Amino acid sequence: MLQRILGAKGPATSALGLGCMGMSDLYGPSDRAESIATLHAAVDAGVVLLDTGDFYGMGHNEMLIGDALADAGFTRSHKRDDVQISVKFGAQRDPAGNWIGFDGRPSAVKNALSYTLRRLRVDHIDIYRPARLDPNVPIEDTVGAIADMVKAGYVRHIGLSEVGSDTLRRAVAVHPIVDLQIEYSLISRGLERDILPTCRDLGIGITAYGVLSRGLISGHWSKDWGSKDKGKGVDFRAHSPRFQGENLDHNLALVEELRRVAAEKGVTVAQIAIAWVLSQGQDIVPLVGARRRDRLAESLGALDVTLTPDDLAAIERAVPMDSAAGDRYNAHAMASLDSER
């Protein structure tokens, strides 16, 4: 497995990480046994970085990872420190699963961490980060509380998620930040304008989620998904602007252009999309959201794809910057993103 460094002061990690959200929440039903098998296959393949959130399935995802890491078959071959667990916290949900706010207060930081450690059955978290900026709490207070947990040995490194340049600068004045987790794909490139240069100036790495735009640019998405999967579980893509009506038609047309480039290269659409993110800098680690072993194997194949200048130019012609139709979240969610201000 190729390795990359998370920021100027962060740890070495695998060139690809595994985003685990879909194993528990928001993408419809998943299979527990296959999820655990996929986690094991990822670590066996050298994927070190496992990304989760305490609100993914309202604790379910952390418990799932905890079960996978405690499995006898896993512990015979691996130790706790063979993986790096990245956890987001702070998103608040009611018993029905609705999103009801964010809590970044110092007391909430420490409370959330205590439950996370118990659910994962570990004694420390490798990277701990607020999932969003709490508009009512100075970022200095939130980061300062995590820094207390670093000193106490419960957290190794501090990351941030979906924040803008000003917030990044204020945060690093309190404690080193190893990475910013933010959406980055061929059709989500807004961070290139300001946030990515700021991260590089401050020595902050990028862990890129949504590299296949929630499956939209995976090459596997079809226009009839809505009717085919209706009623099979909660899937927030049913309400995502990029998956709606004419937006979906436009975006799938972009995928077909990308498919032509991928075919000429002899790779899949997903592989060329992931390889593109990998090619944007050694400080960028894509998170792939595979829930099944076959999808994981396809994603790992992107590591063998070398994109030439001609390939990159062809990809740019197929999917130009700002060519996607629709925002990456609905209006309410977009308004909560410090990275979009």
| Residues contacting residue 127 through CB under 8 Å, at least 6 positions apart | 6, 84, 85, 86, 87, 155, 156, 157, 158, 159, 178, 179
Measured in degrees and rounded to the nearest 5, phi and psi for residue 99 equal -85, 125
Single out the catalytic residue among 56, 184, 209, 329.
56
Beta strands in the chain (DSSP E): 3-5, 12-14, 17-19, 49-53, 84-89, 91-93, 99-102, 125-130, 155-161, 179-183, 205-209, 284-288
Q: Which two tokens stand for residue 157?
A: 């490194």
Measured in degrees and rounded to the nearest 5, phi and psi for residue 294 equal -70, -40
Whose structure tokens read 């998956």? 243
Q: Is 56 among the catalytic positions?
A: yes
**Closest C-alpha among 71, 76, 85 to residue 113:** 85
Residues forming the active site: 56
